[in-house]
Amino acid sequence: MQRSLSQLADREFDVLVIGGGAFGAAAAWDASLRGLSVALIEQEDFGAGASAECFKFVHGGIRYLQHGNVKRLRASARERSALLRIAPHLVQPMPVVVPTFGHGRNGKAFLGAGMRVYDLLTMGRNAGIRDATRHIPATQFLSRSEVLNLFPEVDRPGLTGGAVFADGQMYSPPRLVLALVQSAAARGACVANYVQAVEFLWEGARVCGVRARDRAPGAGDGLEIRARLVLNAAGPWAEYLLADRERFGAHERGHFSRDACFIVRRPPHTHYALAIPGQSRDRDTLVAREARHLFAVPWRDYTLIGVWHRLFAERPDRAIVEDAEIATWIAEMNASCPALALQREEVSYACCGLVPFGAAASASELSFGKESRFIDHRAVHGIAGLVTLIGIRYTTARADAASALDLLLKQWSGAPLARSSTEYTPLHGGAISDVAALQAELASANSAVPTRTLTALVRNHGTEAHELLRRARGGADAEFAPALVDGSDTLVAEVEHAVEKEMALRLSDVILRRTDLGSGAHPGRAALRAAAASMAAALGWSAARLDGEVTATQGVLAHHHALEANPV
């Protein structure tokens, strides 16, 4: 996968996709599978926005039971199955325990009945998923003692046990986006990060491309990218491209929620997640329990806690998690489950991203967004060649991207194009029938590689882990001593591979989105400088540029409250 701006500027594409998050990447992959010539541009790094900042859940739609929305429920479950099928290395089931109390709406009978209905509505959920460990099981019920054995902190009067449902969990949301981008590029799409769409190009009342700017470090050049059709999938930035009142009228930007969560340095003692009643309610539910749930979820060696929602009307680049908010959230979790006894110093990382939202009724009673926004500008504004998609939930990116393309391709003048088979086509690195068997095979052939390193290679790269190990071995035999980034389990070869094959241009790309170095906490200054040195050797950075990249990445990590435990 190579970044070539001359290829973007030298031809007219069938489809240009603006936005390299989950929805734009899925659209580029889908369009390339349909046989179209495709360009994909992203103003930052691929998956650097809300896609990277999400709660890492692949939702199967169980909460839509409360809304009576069976169609949305089944669609979400279908998309969860698709991701387990096409990216088994990056997505796995996550069982969630919902404690039950007494009788009525908080009791086991009421909750269990709803979950049994959910099981029936999603009976085909494991069709075509080859790896049995990626199957979503049916509802299970736990006794009071079984729940307390898993989560002693939920002991309180009235506890009767719990019900267990399973959703999906992403190992690395940005690498899942990257797998979509890589899959599109392998099908011929021309992709580029750090290319910002500045304004549309016009032929009368038709959009025919964009005027763009190269935002790669040291660049700044302008270019024009022409396309017969344009999909604006830039997430919370998408509507800023519609600010031309003469052409789009007085377009009013929709509501957005700043969804936030945090990671704590508390190794999970179980592979189950725990649902905990929070302090807010979803006002649109037909049937609700006492409050909307928060979740404490095992993720790698950490516990991931969230999600909190806040109506956010400012520009997307101003969406941050303030330190005072973390203290408030910890207080809410401890009030809901005092035995958790969370402490501020345990927090290693805070995430937030913007997604479409309903209107806010009050701070504790919210109308949550339910579906992505589609704007057919030909129908709404009389403008041909343009559709805007503002995606709401990572889980539905594949399906919503396909729907947006269908809408756009109604304007296609060529032969009719059938939908592609993205629901069953493995993503880059995802042609795996048994993830554990793949790791065992690699471990047998690379006995000197640490188990944690091998696990990360398989989970991040899937079948491409073979190539990473060949690079790391460099011609040595199976007993080679792998070169690791200082103080980490990450291969130096992963950094080199990210630069040469995965379009990493900045140190933050490698630390936050290509490797596990900064996934849950600050990796330490030694690791930052070692990774930067590897990038400098590959990209010809000066000493000043290397120092600047380290400083900039330190700033990004501080933005996430990812402070060093032992600064040097």
CA–CA separation, 42 and 25 (whole Å) = 10
Does residue 429 belong to any structural domain of this protein?
no
- Whether 218 shows a pLDDT value over 90: the answer reads no
- The model's pLDDT over 394-406, given as tens digits with 9 standing for 90+, comes to 999 999 999 999 9
Q: What is the CATH number of the domain that holds 475?
A: 1.10.8
**Residue 369 confidence (pLDDT):** 52
Does residue 289 belong to any structural domain of this protein?
yes
204 and 242 in a single domain? The answer is yes
**Residue 281 confidence (pLDDT):** 54
247 and 378 in a single domain? The answer is yes
3-state secondary structure of 365: strand
Per the structure, the complete domain to which residue 330 belongs is given by: 61-171+255-366
195 and 335 in a single domain? The answer is no
Q: Where a domain ends, among 366, 385, 419?
A: 366
442 and 531 in a single domain? The answer is yes
- The model's pLDDT over 151-179, given as tens digits with 9 standing for 90+, comes to 999 998 899 999 999 999 999 999 999 99
Tokens of 478: 């199976």
**Residue 106 confidence (pLDDT):** 85
71 and 116 in a single domain? The answer is yes
Q: Where a domain ends, among 331, 347, 366?
A: 366
Does residue 140 belong to any structural domain of this protein?
yes
**Residue 286 confidence (pLDDT):** 47
Rounded to a whole number, what is the largest CA-CA distance in the chain? 70
Count of structural domains, the chain: 3
Q: What H or E segment, with its residue span, contains residue 18? A: strand 12-18
Does residue 426 belong to any structural domain of this protein?
no
405 and 444 in a single domain? The answer is no
- The model's pLDDT over 359-373, given as tens digits with 9 standing for 90+, comes to 554 444 455 556 899
Burial category of 269 from C-beta neighbours within 10 Å (exposed 0-12, middle 13-18, buried 19 and up)? exposed
Does residue 141 belong to any structural domain of this protein?
yes
Does residue 338 belong to any structural domain of this protein?
yes
**Residue 475 confidence (pLDDT):** 73
CB 18 within 8 A of CB 231: yes
229 and 283 in a single domain? The answer is no
**Residue 66 confidence (pLDDT):** 83
Average pLDDT over residues 344-349: 95
Q: Between the CA atoms of 414, 416, 419 and 421, what dihedral angle is there, to the nearest 10 degrees? A: -80
Tell me the average pLDDT of the chain: 92
313 and 392 in a single domain? The answer is no
Q: Between the CA atoms of 403, 408, 411 and 416, what dihedral angle is there, to the nearest 10 degrees? A: -40
Q: What is the DSSP string of 97-153?
A: EEEEESSGGGSHHHHHHHHHHHHHHTTTTTTT---GGG--PPPEEEEHHHHHHH-GG
- The model's pLDDT over 21-58, given as tens digits with 9 standing for 90+, comes to 999 999 999 999 999 999 999 999 999 999 999 999 99
3-state secondary structure of 178: helix
Task: Find all residues with CB under 8 Å of 551, minimum gap 6, and list them.
Answer: none
Q: What is the CATH number of the domain that holds 166?
A: 3.30.9.10
**Beta strands 190-193 and 38-42, pairing class:** parallel
330 and 267 in a single domain? The answer is yes
Does residue 276 belong to any structural domain of this protein?
yes
DSSP code for 383: -
Does residue 567 belong to any structural domain of this protein?
no
CA–CA separation, 228 and 417 (whole Å) = 15
CA–CA separation, 469 and 483 (whole Å) = 11
392 and 316 in a single domain? The answer is no
CB 275 within 8 A of CB 98: yes
- The model's pLDDT over 84-100, given as tens digits with 9 standing for 90+, comes to 999 999 999 999 999 99
Q: What is the CATH number of the domain that holds 402?
A: 3.50.50.60
184 and 207 in a single domain? The answer is yes
**Residue 365 confidence (pLDDT):** 47
**Residue 361 confidence (pLDDT):** 45
**Residue 543 confidence (pLDDT):** 97
CB 354 within 8 A of CB 258: yes
Q: Where a domain ends, among 315, 336, 366?
A: 366
341 and 210 in a single domain? The answer is no
Assessment of whether the complete model's pTM goes beyond 0.75: yes
Average pLDDT over residues 479-503: 93
CA–CA separation, 181 and 509 (whole Å) = 15
